[in-house]
């Protein structure tokens, strides 16, 4: 049994459903401290966070991730207990195998190997770990980032261990994510009897032309790394439940998944301009879940790409697809952020699993990335 597999089994066996860590950070800290890492536990509310750093100089290479996992769903649908990691036919089963305790184990063993081979390496190695990524993410990574900002600590490179691979570990990495901007729009009318249309103002009818224009608007055309920005309605609520009553209001919930080709302020301004031009009486509440971030080709992309090619023979692809990740917070203090992790085919599913062999491959990718970034070539 490899060191990476052994550590993964320990972590997966902990029932660390968000926001609970259940001792995972202690397991990891016990491995890091003998390597010379300074450990800082940062508990915020019910969330456990760990900031660990070895070295005082730059560049700073940070591994980031989360110990929490999503609920298992019906346990009787699993082929084995989701918190008793089980190997069958070369696959490791258990909640968190892919998202993302396998990556955490690979982080640690790659660092152990690197420090053993290069005890006097350049720069610093850090880990930023939380138990609040799968939930509302208000007391996790964002709080650690705020603490580091207040101290003036910055990162040069960050690797987030989210599962990014599609068919084979290393085939895809995320070099950015779209932002998420939501709005709750309430359009006001006049309620009344449906048989007396001259005495009512139907807010659903009134807002319909504006909806059509919002849906047809080209917000941007994207760029080399991002698709165009998308505006989508998720919910519409209007009416009293009676067939003969025109409602007084209609509520519309919508969301932008937006690229770096747009700004929050620009999108908000254009929405208000359309609503105002249609002469609607309305309230609109905005919620920003995350800003977009982008790491173009450069030192980190090159270092990770070379490591993946050396281990797997694959020329990795860059992607900005999918939802949000904690990379959106880390990008505030780090100019180069990548997500690099195992297969994502079974994340959040019943019988989550990854190939056992991929754990050591991932550890080697992380190790070679550290070597590419922190060891000076002759």
Give catalytic residue positions: 68, 133
Q: Are 317 and 171 in contact (CB under 8 A)?
A: yes
Q: Are 170 and 103 in contact (CB under 8 A)?
A: no
10's CB contacts (< 8 A; 6+ apart) are 27
* Dihedral over alpha carbons 374, 330, 230, 249 (to 10 degrees): 170
Question: What is the DSSP secondary-structure string of 245-307?
Answer: EE-SEEEEEEEEEE-TTS-HHHHHHHHHHHHHHTT--EEEEEEEEE--EE--SSHHHHHHHHH
Instruction: Pick the closest to residue 96 from 17, 164, 158, 31 (CA basis).
Output: 17
Q: Which two three-digit tokens encode residue 87?
A: 């190997």
Residue 285: exposed, middle, or buried by beta-carbon count in 10 A (0-12, 13-18, 19+)?
Answer: exposed
Q: Which residues pair with 339 in a beta bridge?
A: 160, 174
CA distance 50 to 36: 15
Residue recorded with tokens 């056992």: 356
Residue 231 sits at the vertex; the CA angle it makes with 230 and 233, to the nearest 5 degrees, is 135
Q: Which two three-digit tokens encode residue 233?
A: 């309605």
């Amino acid at each position: 049994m490899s060191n990476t597999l052994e550590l993964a089994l320990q972590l997966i066996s902990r029932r660390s459903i968000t926001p609970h860590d259940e001792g995972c950070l202690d397991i990891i800290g016990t491995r890091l401290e003998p390597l010379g890492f300074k450990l800082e536990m940062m508990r915020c509310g019910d969330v456990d966070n760990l900031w660990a750093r070895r070295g005082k100089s730059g560049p700073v290479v940070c591994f980031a991730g989360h110990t929490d996992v999503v609920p298992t769903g019906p346990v009787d649908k699993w082929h084995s207990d989701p918190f008793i990691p089980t190997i069958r036919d070369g696959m490791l089963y258990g909640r968190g195998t892919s998202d993302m305790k396998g990556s955490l184990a690979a982080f640690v063993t790659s660092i152990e190997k690197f420090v053993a081979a290069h005890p006097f390496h350049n720069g610093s190695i850090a880990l930023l770990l939380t138990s609040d990524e799968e939930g509302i993410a208000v007391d996790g990574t964002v709080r650690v980032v705020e603490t580091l900002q207040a101290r003036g600590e910055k990162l040069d490179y960050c690797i987030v261990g989210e599962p990014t691979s599609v068919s084979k570990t290393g085939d895809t990495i995320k070099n950015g994510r779209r932002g998420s901007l939501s709005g709750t729009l309430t359009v006001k009318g006049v309620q009344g009897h449906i048989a007396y249309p001259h005495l009512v103002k139907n807010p659903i009818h009134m807002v319909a032309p504006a909806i059509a224009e919002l849906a047809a608007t080209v917000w941007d055309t994207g760029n080399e790394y991002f698709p165009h920005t998308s505006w989508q309605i998720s919910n519409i609520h209007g009416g009293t439940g009676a067939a003969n009553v025109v409602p007084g209001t209609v509520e519309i919930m919508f969301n932008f998944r937006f690229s770096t080709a747009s700004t929050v302020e620009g999108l908000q301004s254009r929405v208000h301009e359309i609503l105002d031009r249609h002469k609607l009486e309305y309230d609109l509440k905005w919620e920003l879940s995350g800003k977009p971030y982008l790491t173009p080709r450069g030192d980190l992309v090159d270092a990770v790409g070379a490591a993946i090619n050396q281990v797997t023979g694959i020329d990795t692809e860059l992607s900005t697809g999918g939802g949000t990740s904690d990379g959106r917070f880390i990008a505030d203090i780090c100019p180069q952020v990548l997500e690099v992790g195992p297969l994502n085919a079974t994340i959040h599913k019943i019988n989550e699993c990854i190939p056992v062999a991929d754990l050591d491959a991932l550890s080697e990718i992380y190790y070679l990335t550290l070597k590419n970034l922190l060891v000076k070539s002759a």
